[in-house]
Chains A and B, each alone.
Chain A
Amino acid sequence: MERKGARRERILELLEEHGGLREGVAAAISAETGVPEADVYGVATFYTLVSRPGVGVRICQGLTCKLAGADARAAELQGHGVDHEWVSCLGRCDRAPVALDPELELIPWGARGAISPDDPELPMNLGGADDASYRALARARGIGAAQVIEQLRAAGLQGRGGAGFPAHIKWSAVRGEADPVRYVVVNADESEPGTFKDREILLRRPHLLIEGAAIAAWVVGASIVYVYIRGEFTDARRSLEAALEAAAPHLDGIEIRIVAGHGAYICGEETALLEAIEGRRGMPRLKPPYPTRSGLWGKPTLMNNVETLACVPSILLRGGDWFQSWGRDEPGSKLYCLSGHVARPGVYELPLGVTLDELVEAGGGYVGTPRAFSPGGAASGFLPISERSRPLDMGGLAAAGSMLGSAGVVVLNDTVDMAQAARWQAIFFQDESCGQCAPCRIGCSLQRRSLDRWIDDRDPATLQHVEEIHWEMEEGSICGLGMTASLPLVTAMRHFPEDFRSQR
């Protein structure tokens, strides 16, 4: 049991200072924090960036990087005697294949990804100059908290992290809580394969995020904002830190703290993220209670994705109705991440609800003959190219048994074996399952195994229980990871049965 007054939240930064988990480190951190040694060890072994010190080059084994020839790059490194390790998606699919050096800095193999051209009309306009005037924050203070929430409602802004929960409802809920101590937490733990939009906001327009977060804190009555940023995003973190210095004079008592992640995709799940900030293993909590009532350290907590908050300044400056009218069937503009078999991978800000063809046109067109696409990150599964005219929004994709998710769109052409594509996604989920609940922990392994056996032996019997396992993972898992982890496999089998037949 931890000591009264234990500094549990320091465990992960101390692990970093100690150079990762080596023998004796858990004991030293236990003495420094008052958290039992075994507990420290359990936390350390959960996070890949601290659990195995001494890793050399990290090569991304995400879908897009594999499509872009990561294997050849790995072989090249091997040939030069460079130590390397395969790791989960590194969130730079626009410049695939991707690798990080031992200091987690990007190895510049490919050119930087594209973005939409500078257009001041765009709500986020990644190509424009970052605005550090904090006019929107001043305007929020001028019109009052209730009016800010009303503008969010008029804007129809929905959470851009994947779940699509209406922002104004969350903000109102936290604002209405009785407990005077509240927190705002920014989810910048962008790790869904195929997704790299928040990274571009942090690199190009960090003040959009800081201003949105400051407005959120002011509206819900929080004095501290935590930004939980993916550990592998060292460049984005530096950009945010520099912007925070410039922002300080405008924030008027609102403190923004950066907490770095340590290598665990699941910490993008909101309650796992809270556990990580508190210095625990990133295992999702049972809901209810929801974070709006009982979040960080049990206090009411408003958690929003980076993009969600980055939409807020323009909504306040130009009005909710203006933002709303950007979308087609659903409100607003959207940052779409485009990668895979397209000419110019990158982040494109377009009306919410464009079609795949429109998005790919912005990205310079298809490469080869398109066959499939994954519309919203690994968890959205695959759709056949015949769905190219479907609106890429929440309703449109839900109707196709998929989801907009993080809007990480990956295009696959007809050179790709969909069983192989499904296996790359299955490897990701198996590696990133937290292991807490049985349906996900065992289910991810079973599905991965089914795919391995199919690809190696071409025995269709190995696939016979895929649907039933998927059913249980969806019904029985604690969090969204387990519920959707089978979708790449299930949708690949559904839409591309020819890749799962013995006679090919």
Chain B
Amino acid sequence: MSQSVRITVDGVEVQVEPGATVLTAATTAGIAVPTLCHEARVDPMGSCRMCLVEIEGQRRLQPSCAFPASDGMVVHTDSGRVRRHRRVLLSMYLADHELDEDGLPKERGTGNRLRQHVLEHGTGPTLPPIAADRSYREDDNPYVHFDPEACILCNLCVRYCDEVEAVSAITLANRGSHTTIATADQRSLLDTSCELCGGCIAVCPTGAMTERPALGLDWRREEKIRTTCNFCGVGCQLDLHVADDRIVRITSPEPGRTVNDGNLCVKGRFAYEFVHHDDRLTTPLIRGGDGELRPASWPEALAAAAAGLLGVKERHGADALGFVSSSRCTGEENYLVQKLARAAFGTNNCHQCAAT
């Protein structure tokens, strides 16, 4: 391993691996540098300009998210120049963003980091809205909502879609103040390579991309409950957002903490309507001799199932039985199904629908 790099950030000397960025060094030193377009899973772009810092020997302010730390480097993240830069930059962002009645960036999705930065770092002059002319897209997809007026063009959604998911359904389009996030020929996401994984929503710092079913909901009222996704065997961790005893949104735990590394698929993120659906079965049903299903208790249902299965075994042998479990089951549940097949009924005829 090559030697580590010693760098001083706001007077704190830290050591980082060669190739680490100034931002990583600042984080190591316990110093928070505000960012908007930074995400560890994608290459730095350095375009939001929020993380600019002063580096001794550099004439210009530099983006800490992309600038490599080097031995002996001295960095200032809180100088008068950096503070002034942050305030005026935030003023400019406000001139290109939908504001609430308090003049703050409107809250959307699971929070607006631009709003947090404004509250924390303050702003400079009050500037008039630039009313940029951006093209809109009619999009009838049920899950991903995009509001160009809340977009700061950090390009994280595009980079995530390309670099992490390798789906590349969206792009930066047009130029200058007309720049926006678009699909090819501005089609609905349903008519693109989009898999509706919703990762664009997860990485969006301002809530310009939001879950359409959760539009307008107040995320502060939501309680997060960690669970394991049961749509397949991967074991993705989910945070169910619950308000008034209903799931209103599903997100992934932050990247780097769980097996899914911040990612979800369309089922994990959006297929939760069944939980509260009217058609959902909430009690076992037993089909009577007349062919009709009638509600039963669990002991009754289990007894009826056991009797039926044992009857087949007695009449035709254990191998007349086959057990197929669901991809909705967890690994543990699948284990139990094969245990049931082999130990309780004595057959190796067991399968799982996702195992083809």
Task: Report how far A431 CA is from B89 CA in the complex, Å.
Answer: 21
Contacts of A38 in B (CB 8 A): 168-171, 182-184, 192-193
Task: Report how far A469 CA is from B85 CA in the complex, Å.
Answer: 10
Q: How far is the CB of B67 from chain A (nearest CB, A)?
A: 8
Q: How far is the CB of B155 from chain A (nearest CB, A)?
A: 8
Q: Which residues 145-181 of B sit at the A interface, judged by CB distance below 8 A?
A: 152-153, 158, 162-163, 166-179
Count of interface residues, chain A, beta-carbon cutoff 8 Å: 48
Q: How far is the CB of A486 from chain B (nearest CB, A)?
A: 12
Chain A CB within 10 Å, residue with most, of B47, B125, B132, B193: B47
Q: How far is the CB of A75 from chain B (nearest CB, A)?
A: 25
Q: Does B127 contact A (CB under 8 A)?
A: yes
For B174, the closest partner residue in chain A by CB is A45
Task: Report how far A2 CA is from B167 CA in the complex, Å.
Answer: 10
Contacts of B95 in A (CB 8 A): 442, 446
Q: Does B33 contact A (CB under 8 A)?
A: no
Given contacts A436-B47, A439-B49, contact A465 B127 (CB under 8 A): yes
Q: Does B63 contact A (CB under 8 A)?
A: yes
Task: Report how far A387 CA is from B24 CA in the complex, Å.
Answer: 49
Given contacts A24-B185, A475-B81, A476-B49, contact A439 B176 (CB under 8 A): no
Q: Does B96 contact A (CB under 8 A)?
A: yes
For A47, the closest partner residue in chain B by CB is B175
Q: Does B66 contact A (CB under 8 A)?
A: yes
Cβ-neighbour of B184 out of A40, A435, A464 (below 8 A): A40
Q: How far is the CB of B184 from chain A (nearest CB, A)?
A: 4
Contacts of A446 in B (CB 8 A): 92, 95, 127-128, 130
Task: Report how far A441 CA is from B151 CA in the complex, Å.
Answer: 13
Q: Does B48 contact A (CB under 8 A)?
A: yes
Q: Does B93 contact A (CB under 8 A)?
A: yes
Chain B CB within 10 Å, residue with most, of A24, A27, A41, A434: A41
- Is the pair B130, A445 in contact by a Cβ cutoff of 8 Å? yes
- Is the pair B171, A444 in contact by a Cβ cutoff of 8 Å? no
Given contacts A286-B66, A438-B48, A475-B85, contact A444 B172 (CB under 8 A): no
Contacts of A30 in B (CB 8 A): 184
Q: Does A100 contact B (CB under 8 A)?
A: no
Contacts of A41 in B (CB 8 A): 171, 173, 182-185
Task: Report how far A46 CA is from B193 CA in the complex, Å.
Answer: 22
For A433, the closest partner residue in chain B by CB is B176
For B49, the closest partner residue in chain A by CB is A476
Q: Does A471 contact B (CB under 8 A)?
A: yes
- Is the pair B85, A472 in contact by a Cβ cutoff of 8 Å? yes
Q: Does B52 contact A (CB under 8 A)?
A: yes
Task: Report how far A38 CA is from B182 CA in the complex, Å.
Answer: 8
Chain A CB within 10 Å, residue with most, of B46, B92, B125: B92
For A286, the closest partner residue in chain B by CB is B46
Q: Which residues 104-157 of A sit at the B interface, judged by CB distance below 8 A?
A: none
Q: Does A443 contact B (CB under 8 A)?
A: yes
Chain A CB within 10 Å, residue with most, of B93, B130, B167, B169: B130
Task: Report how far A42 CA is from B153 CA in the complex, Å.
Answer: 13
Q: How far is the CB of A21 from chain B (nearest CB, A)?
A: 9
- Is the pair B127, A469 in contact by a Cβ cutoff of 8 Å? yes
Q: Does B350 contact A (CB under 8 A)?
A: no
Contacts of B170 in A (CB 8 A): 38
- Is the pair B172, A432 in contact by a Cβ cutoff of 8 Å? no
Q: Does A67 contact B (CB under 8 A)?
A: no
A-contact bits for B38-49, CB 8 A (1 contact / 0 none):
000000101111
Q: Does B88 contact A (CB under 8 A)?
A: yes
Cβ-neighbour of B152 out of A40, A438, A471 (below 8 A): A438
Q: Does B233 contact A (CB under 8 A)?
A: no
Q: How far is the CB of A439 from chain B (nearest CB, A)?
A: 6
- Is the pair A465, B125 in contact by a Cβ cutoff of 8 Å? yes
Contacts of B124 in A (CB 8 A): 468, 472
Contacts of B49 in A (CB 8 A): 437-439, 476-478
- Is the pair A441, B179 in contact by a Cβ cutoff of 8 Å? yes
- Is the pair A36, B177 in contact by a Cβ cutoff of 8 Å? no
Given contacts A26-B185, A469-B92, contact A431 B176 (CB under 8 A): yes
- Is the pair B96, A478 in contact by a Cβ cutoff of 8 Å? no
Q: How far is the CB of A93 from chain B (nearest CB, A)?
A: 22
- Is the pair A46, B175 in contact by a Cβ cutoff of 8 Å? yes
For A43, the closest partner residue in chain B by CB is B171
Contacts of B93 in A (CB 8 A): 438, 442
Given contacts A39-B171, A469-B88, contact A449 B176 (CB under 8 A): no
Q: Does B61 contact A (CB under 8 A)?
A: yes
Contacts of A441 in B (CB 8 A): 96, 153, 176-177, 179
Cβ-neighbour of A45 out of B162, B173, B193 (below 8 A): B173
Given contacts A27-B184, A445-B130, A465-B127, contact A434 B176 (CB under 8 A): yes
- Is the pair A435, B48 in contact by a Cβ cutoff of 8 Å? no
Q: How far is the CB of B76 from chain A (nearest CB, A)?
A: 14
Q: How far is the CB of B94 from chain A (nearest CB, A)?
A: 9
Given contacts A445-B132, A446-B95, contact A42 B182 (CB under 8 A): yes
- Is the pair A46, B174 in contact by a Cβ cutoff of 8 Å? yes
For A30, the closest partner residue in chain B by CB is B184
Cβ-neighbour of A472 out of B47, B92, B169, B183 (below 8 A): B92
16 A–B contacts from the bound complex (CB under 8 Å):
A41-B171, A41-B173, A41-B183, A46-B174, A286-B63, A436-B153, A438-B92, A438-B152, A441-B153, A442-B130, A446-B128, A469-B88, A472-B85, A472-B89, A476-B52, A476-B89
Query: Known pairs A36-B162, A39-B168, A471-B84. 10 more at Cβ < 8 A?
Result: A38-B192, A45-B174, A45-B182, A286-B63, A430-B176, A433-B175, A433-B176, A472-B89, A475-B52, A477-B49
Closest 4 CB pairs of A and B: A42-B171, A435-B179, A36-B168, A445-B130
